[in-house]
């Protein structure tokens, strides 16, 4: 199976590449927060008349006992942390950590999959290097050990990172939930089996 790594040059570049490669159906299986490439995929598919479906995990839904505050984006999460110092678990990965330096009063606990190449810029932080899937017991212990008073996370959905939300509910810890970006209208499914069903409905040859 051919593999391509790297960008395409926007929606126009993606459309040109798909046309040259003879792509007849497009499945967008990117991360729920990969808004730019998903928007480009919708535009590119429309440009060359290729049907598109998105494979995406259903977002998490608050349950009884959850203390969620919804914000639209990283900037909203940073603004929501204005106030007295707290112990905050940033469960966001490394990409957006620097934005929180504008709220330096907090003690941040960072959980990364791999050790960072450079020290995070947050003045007061503790780094945990760990790889999921995580367990409720493990995340409950993490929250308790660091005295976490608030969790900041993206609504990525799925089961691998959900444990922190269950642990937060059990311990009464509030969560700043960053909602998913708004994307252009598109067909979507939530399982690989449903993708194959969609392909069959759209007369796709799975061998191509």
pTM of the full predicted structure?
A: 0.86
pLDDT(80) > 60: yes
State how far the Cα of 189 lies from the Cα of 17, in Å rounded to an integer.
Answer: 25
**What are the CB-based long-range contacts (under 8 Å, 24+) for 70-78?**
70/177, 70/179, 71/176, 71/177, 71/178, 71/179, 72/178, 72/179, 73/178, 73/179, 73/181, 74/99, 74/178, 75/99, 76/178, 77/152, 77/176, 77/178, 78/102, 78/103
What does the pLDDT read at residue 204? 63
Whether 131 shows a pLDDT value over 90: the answer reads no
Work out the mean pLDDT of the chain and round it to a whole number: 93
Using pLDDT thresholds of 50, 70 and 90, give the confidence band for residue 45: very high
Q: Which residues contact 163 (CB under 8 A, 6 or more apart)?
A: 133, 134, 135, 136, 138, 139
The stretches of the chain forming alpha helices (DSSP H) are 10-21, 35-48, 74-80, 136-145, 163-171, 192-201
pLDDT confidence of 54, banded at 50, 70, 90?
A: very high
What pLDDT sits at residue 168? 97
pLDDT of amino acid 208 = 42
Phi and psi for 149 in degrees, rounded to 5?
A: -110, -10
Domains for the chain: give ranges and CATH numbers.
10-58+182-201 (no CATH), 68-178 (3.40.50.720)
């Amino acid at each position: 199976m051919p593999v391509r790594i790297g960008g395409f040059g926007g929606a126009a570049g993606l459309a040109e590449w798909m046309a040259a490669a003879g792509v007849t159906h497009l499945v967008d299986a990117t991360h729920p927060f990969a808004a730019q490439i998903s928007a480009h995929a919708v535009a590119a598919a429309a440009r060359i008349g290729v049907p598109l479906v998105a494979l995406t995990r259903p977002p998490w839904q608050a349950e009884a006992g959850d203390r969620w505050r919804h914000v639209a984006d990283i900037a909203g999460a940073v603004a929501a942390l204005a106030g007295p110092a707290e112990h905050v678990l940033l469960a966001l990965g490394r990409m957006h950590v620097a934005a929180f330096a504008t709220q330096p009063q907090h003690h941040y606990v960072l959980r990364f999959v791999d050790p960072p190449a450079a020290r995070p810029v947050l003045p007061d932080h503790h780094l945990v290097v760990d790889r999921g899937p995580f367990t409720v017991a493990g995340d409950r212990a993490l929250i308790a050990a660091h005295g976490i008073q608030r969790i900041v996370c993206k609504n990525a959905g799925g089961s691998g990172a959900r444990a922190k939300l269950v642990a937060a509910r059990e311990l009464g810890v509030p969560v700043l939930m960053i909602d998913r970006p708004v994307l252009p209208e598109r067909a979507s499914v939530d399982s690989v089996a449903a993708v194959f069903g969609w392909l069959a409905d759209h007369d796709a040859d799975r061998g191509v």
